[in-house]
Amino acid sequence: MNRLKDEAVSDEEQPLKSKPLLSPAPVFPTPSGPVVATKSVDPELLNIMTFRPSSSSAPVSPAPDLFDVPIRLKGTPVSGALSTPRHEDESSSKDYKRSRELKKLASLRKSIKRARPAQDCKAANVKLSSRRQVPDNDKELCIWRPSLSDNPRVSAEEIIIMFDSLRRRMMQLDEKEDSSKRADMKAGALMMRNNMRINSVKTVGHVPGVEVGDIFFYRIEMCIVGLHAPAMGGIDYMPVNSVGKDDSLAVCIISSGGYDNEEDDTDILVYTGQGGNSRKKQKHDQKLERGNLALMNSQNKNTQIRVVRSTHDPFRHSEKIYIYDGLYRIEESWIEKARNGFNVFKYKLRREPGQPDGISVWKKAQKWKENPATRENIIQLDLSSNVENLPVCLVNDVGNVTIPIHFNYVTGVKYSRPLSREKQLRNCKCDSVCLPGDPDCSCAQQNGGDLPYTLSGLLVRHTPILYECSSSCQCSENCRNRVTQRGIGLNFEVFWTGDRGWGLRTWDPVHAGAFICEYAGEVIDETKMNLDVKEDDYIFHTSCTSDTVSRWNQGTELLEETSRGSTTGSFRQLPIIISAKDSGNVARFVNHSCSPNLVWQAVQYDHGDDRYPHIMFFAIKHIPPMTELTYDYGTKGAPPGFEDIFPKACKLKPCLCSSTNCRGYF
């Protein structure tokens, strides 16, 4: 657990590296012509803008991130503090329709599936200006509170968490009704319509809150963080005011393979222009207009362009992952004949020097996955000695220290005393696999009526306890409700962090909600906790991380008609204490962070004693390859109730997670 050795603690005295969380607002130099103002997130501005009537504002929304604009879904009165100044005539029928539409979505109606009456269709297509006013006479509850952080990085993470949470839940609900189509777009559109987005003003250069290497699993995710506005088009460009001619500039391109781009060199990208490729209509030569023209203008003015590369998702069949690869500039462009015989524009872009690794990390990770022995600085090829499905590499890229690790690698938990047999395991009678919406599936019932995982095995929401199908269920091993019992599926490496001992990361991209690993070890009988335990840095106990969980569940709860119990109650303190000191798995190397990317979830599948569940870790954010995996240890070193017995273990330890909301100790 806390693997801060004494010598490591002394690192605390070293000047803390201030992690550059955001680039300064990029200023785009315009030698001649209009100055293109680039946007930075200014919290003060944000507040002012949000409460200012739109009629007097600039044509382009200056309010960058309307986090304060509530999504209003439930029919509960809104507090007066949230009222918005507005003119009487602003409470248009459109607003009314919109709120009705939201209610509709909120109440999980299959409104999207169903062919809607003309009026409703109209409401659904209403384009809300980005300065949309919220009528204060609407008696609804603001559920989504603005992120209190003025840190754009935190905002960007929150908004993606929100999106994916909504998406998973919509998918879960759609599946029940057998209409699982484009939950990503439904979730994205809902957020866009409610202005739950950031960076809606286009800028040249980096976007606040989005870092090189960030990954996205859906196009619409890049829309809501403002990295790439078009939901479909590959070239995002912005108008530049000038007289008589089109001076629009490209701001971001997505290289998604649809246009036969060359992808070999990680610093060079040859990008094909857009157009002429319609599937429905006659194909034709590309024209120098729209995105193509913007790219040409960007070349002439030598401006930076954000580049998003895409790659196949190793875990989802024929789907893509998008990677923000940083800023590029166009070096040259030309016209050539494509394979279909028509002319296309080609642009050769070169990556700006001095940026953190983007796509190059992926290329390396890919190589390692094919042959782990090619991993540099390897100490041990497989820490698990073949007991895991995949090898667990031990590496040290930092140098200096190589501390030998002595422990038995085990894949599960060992109980020191018999478990309670009071509660019997329930079992389902499903043929083949459990399916959503089956009222007879007792496993779904046990989980509150829904299967807890999406088809691709993502945890939909955090629950106090999750019941997977057991050996006494009739469904097969392929049932989706057996995610964690199949064991780890990621290529892990245990690496030397330099200041926090050993840490864990993976070569794979991880989707929010994906299963990571169990906390394996020996379950300690609290009545027999001996002296050794207080020296044990590898203890897991059920710390309360309800903040993390309620944020992660927030999207799913937006869609609830009736609250299924507040998320704060979602964390149950359990008597279980696991030590991974002598026996454990990769989880024993997971470090603490106050801004974690994992959360633990109690899971049951092989016995009925709910006080001693399996402790399973799931991703709560999208995690790019080679990013350290962390969870929130909670605030105390000692298990609840044992503070007096183990004062030493209660001693707070300095936290080195360097996140902006770091509590300083854990």
Give dist(CA 108, CA 125) in Å, integer: 19
Q: What tokens does 605 get? A: 């599948």
- In sequence order, the 6+-apart residues with CB closer than 8 A to the CB of 462 are 549, 552, 553, 567, 570, 599, 601, 618
Give dist(CA 288, CA 136) in Å, integer: 47
Q: Please, which residue, 19 or 279, has the CB nearer to DNA?
A: 279
For 510-604, where are the alpha helices, taking DSSP H only?
546-558
For 10-64, where are the alpha helices, taking DSSP H only?
43-50
Looking at the chain, how many residues does it have? 666
In whole angstroms, how close is the CB of 184 to DNA at the nearest point? 5
In whole angstroms, how close is the CB of 331 to DNA at the nearest point? 21
Cβ-in-10-Å burial (0-12, 13-18, 19+) of 233 comes to middle
Q: Please, which residue, 79 or 241, has the CB nearer to DNA?
A: 241
Do 71 and 143 meet the contact criterion of CB atoms below 8 Å apart?
yes
Q: Please, which residue, 122 or 648, has the CB nearer to DNA?
A: 122
Q: Please, which residue, 248 or 548, has the CB nearer to DNA?
A: 248
Q: Please, which residue, 281 or 421, has the CB nearer to DNA?
A: 281
Alpha carbons within 13 angstroms on the beta-carbon side of residue 419 total 20
In whole angstroms, how close is the CB of 272 to DNA at the nearest point? 8
In whole angstroms, how close is the CB of 193 to DNA at the nearest point? 6
Q: Please, which residue, 184 or 557, has the CB nearer to DNA?
A: 184
Give dist(CA 74, CA 561) in Å, integer: 7
DSSP state of 528: G
- In sequence order, the 6+-apart residues with CB closer than 8 A to the CB of 501 are 3, 4, 5, 8, 403, 591
Give dist(CA 441, CA 607) in Å, integer: 19
- In sequence order, the 6+-apart residues with CB closer than 8 A to the CB of 252 are 227, 228, 229, 235, 236, 305, 306, 307, 308
Q: What tokens does 97 get? A: 């329709």
Q: Please, which residue, 114 or 414, has the CB nearer to DNA?
A: 114
- CA dihedral of 359, 360, 361, 366, whole degrees rounded to 10: 90
In whole angstroms, how close is the CB of 602 to DNA at the nearest point? 28
Q: Please, which residue, 313 or 352, has the CB nearer to DNA?
A: 313
Q: Please, which residue, 277 or 660, has the CB nearer to DNA?
A: 277
Q: What tokens does 86 get? A: 């507005």
Is 163 in a helix, a strand, or coil? helix
Q: Please, which residue, 180 or 408, has the CB nearer to DNA?
A: 180
Q: What tokens does 490 get? A: 């990621």
| CA 559 vs CA 109, 453, 492: distances in Å | 10, 17, 35
DSSP state of 262: B
Which residues make up the interface to DNA (CB under 7 A)? 54-55, 59, 112-113, 124, 127, 129, 180-186, 188-189, 192-193, 200, 202, 217-220, 223, 229-234, 237-239, 246, 248, 254, 256, 258-259, 274-279, 281, 289-291, 316, 318-320
In whole angstroms, how close is the CB of 311 to DNA at the nearest point? 11
Is 505 in a helix, a strand, or coil? strand
Q: Which helix (H) or strand (E) holds 238?
A: strand 235-238
Do 162 and 555 meet the contact criterion of CB atoms below 8 Å apart?
yes
In whole angstroms, how close is the CB of 434 to DNA at the nearest point? 17
Q: Please, which residue, 219 or 482, has the CB nearer to DNA?
A: 219
Q: Please, which residue, 233 or 314, has the CB nearer to DNA?
A: 233
In whole angstroms, how close is the CB of 122 to DNA at the nearest point? 7
In whole angstroms, how close is the CB of 141 to DNA at the nearest point? 23
Count the Cβ atoms, other than its own, within 10 Å of residue 182: 16
- Listing DSSP states for 266-335 in one string gives SSEEEEE---S--SSS------SSHHHHHHHHHHHHT--EEEEEEEE-TTSTT-EEEEEEEEEEEEEEEE
In whole angstroms, how close is the CB of 515 to DNA at the nearest point? 18
In whole angstroms, how close is the CB of 417 to DNA at the nearest point? 45
In whole angstroms, how close is the CB of 313 to DNA at the nearest point? 8
In whole angstroms, how close is the CB of 310 to DNA at the nearest point? 7
In whole angstroms, how close is the CB of 250 to DNA at the nearest point? 11
Q: What tokens does 258 get? A: 């649809």
Q: Please, which residue, 324 or 612, has the CB nearer to DNA?
A: 324
In whole angstroms, how close is the CB of 205 to DNA at the nearest point? 17
Give dist(CA 640, CA 574) in Å, integer: 9
- In sequence order, the 6+-apart residues with CB closer than 8 A to the CB of 632 are 543, 545, 548, 592, 593, 594, 596, 599, 666
DSSP state of 86: -
CA proximity to 512, closest of 468, 552, 464: 552
Q: Please, which residue, 290 or 348, has the CB nearer to DNA?
A: 290
In whole angstroms, how close is the CB of 397 to DNA at the nearest point? 33
Q: Please, which residue, 97 or 564, has the CB nearer to DNA?
A: 97
CA proximity to 383, closest of 500, 493, 489, 487: 493
Q: Please, which residue, 54 or 658, has the CB nearer to DNA?
A: 54
Do 333 and 292 meet the contact criterion of CB atoms below 8 Å apart?
no
Q: Please, which residue, 511 or 636, has the CB nearer to DNA?
A: 511
- In sequence order, the 6+-apart residues with CB closer than 8 A to the CB of 424 are 608
In whole angstroms, how close is the CB of 464 to DNA at the nearest point? 28
Give dist(CA 634, CA 649) in Å, integer: 13
